[in-house]
């Protein structure tokens, strides 16, 4: 005959097991709903380049001043250039899809009284009809691929594969940011790989 104390012990073990199962399920659900990893530059950061490596692919995102140096502070009337690169540290050639160039690629927002205003992108399109270049990136081992684009286009600049129908105005004095939500897919041979759920954000200032 099972004693009362033994029944209580069994019930307690069952409750503990049930509670542990609930906690485990909650942890798994929370992990599946995790937000993107965010890598953020603040205005005046000494190292003005975001650098992050995943699976042998090293990403770099920065803004360049008119001297070609990474910066987060620019003078009024000064142009700046977006630069996003990926270095192939693997031993294989990679073929990178152009899909990472989404609708918000190199988009700028102004920050006024904690509210953001969309100022658009510096280009109107990419791989325009007159640009006869491959619509993917082939990057050999140890080589670098990527894109750069000025905020204001000058007549003598080669901006391929970007295209624009009109020049934008220089930014006024104030605080701004640009961010890149990474959804990066590439192939090694016939095997497709993907790197996503990463956000690169650069806060910058025109003074």
| Number of separate domains in the chain | 2
Cα separation, 202 vs 72, in Å, equals 8
43 and 14: one domain?
no
Residues 6+ apart with CB under 8 A from 195: 54, 55, 57, 182, 184, 185
57 and 152: one domain?
yes
94 and 9: one domain?
no
* pLDDT tens sequence for the chain (207 residues): 555 555 455 455 544 445 444 444 434 434 444 456 899 999 999 999 999 999 999 999 999 999 999 999 999 999 999 999 999 999 999 999 999 999 999 999 999 877 889 999 999 888 876 666 678 899 999 999 999 999 998 877 777 788 876 677 999 999 999 999 999 999 999 999 999 999 999 999 999
160 and 86: one domain?
yes
DSSP calls for 34-91: PPPEEEEEPTT-SS-EEEEEETTEEEEEEEE-TTS-B-SEE-TT---EEEEEEEE-SS
Residue written as token pair 């399109």: 125
78 and 117: one domain?
yes
189 and 94: one domain?
yes
pTM assigned to the model: 0.79
Cα separation, 110 vs 90, in Å, equals 38
pLDDT at 114: 74
pLDDT at 200: 97
pLDDT at 201: 97
The two most distant CA atoms of the chain are separated, in Å, by 95
pLDDT at 33: 44
124 and 72: one domain?
yes
55: left (phi over 0), alpha (psi -120 to 50) or beta: left
DSSP calls for 110-164: EEETTEEEEEE-S-SEES-TT--S-SEEEE-TT-EEEEEEESS--TT---TTEE-
pLDDT at 164: 77
Q: b vs e for 77-104, b when ≥16 Cβ sit within 10 Å of the residue's Cβ?
A: ebbbbbbbbbbbebeeebebbeebbeee
Residue written as token pair 């001297």: 67
pLDDT at 205: 97
62 and 154: one domain?
yes
Q: What is the CATH classification number for the domain harbouring 166?
A: 2.60.40
φ and ψ at 201, to 5 degrees? Answer: -130, 130
7 and 106: one domain?
no
58 and 22: one domain?
no
2 and 13: one domain?
yes
123 and 166: one domain?
yes
Q: b vs e for 157-185, b when ≥16 Cβ sit within 10 Å of the residue's Cβ?
A: eebebbbbeeebeebeeeebbbbbbbebe
Domain that holds residue 30: 1-34
């Amino acid at each position: 005959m099972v004693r009362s104390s033994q029944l209580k012990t069994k019930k307690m073990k069952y409750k503990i097991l049930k509670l542990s199962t609930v906690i485990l399920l909650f942890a798994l659900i929370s992990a599946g709903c995790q937000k993107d990893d965010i890598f953020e530059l603040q205005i005046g950061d000494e190292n003005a380049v975001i650098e992050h490596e995943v699976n042998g692919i090293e990403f770099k995102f920065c803004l360049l001043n008119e001297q070609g140096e990474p910066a987060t502070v620019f003078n009024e009337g000064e142009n700046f250039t977006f630069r996003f690169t990926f270095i192939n540290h693997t031993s294989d050639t990679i073929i990178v899809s152009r899909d990472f160039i989404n609708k918000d690629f190199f988009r700028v927002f102004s920050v006024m009284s904690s509210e953001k205003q969309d100022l658009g992108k510096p280009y109107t399109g990419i791989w325009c009809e007159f640009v006869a270049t491959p619509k993917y990136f082939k990057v050999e081992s140890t080589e670098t691929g990527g894109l750069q684009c000025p905020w204001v286009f000058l007549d003598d600049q080669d901006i391929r594969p970007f295209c624009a129908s009109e020049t934008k105005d220089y930014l006024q004095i104030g605080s701004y940011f640009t961010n890149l939500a990474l959804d990066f897919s590439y192939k090694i041979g016939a095997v497709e790989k993907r790197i996503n759920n990463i956000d690169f954000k650069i806060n910058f200032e025109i003074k």
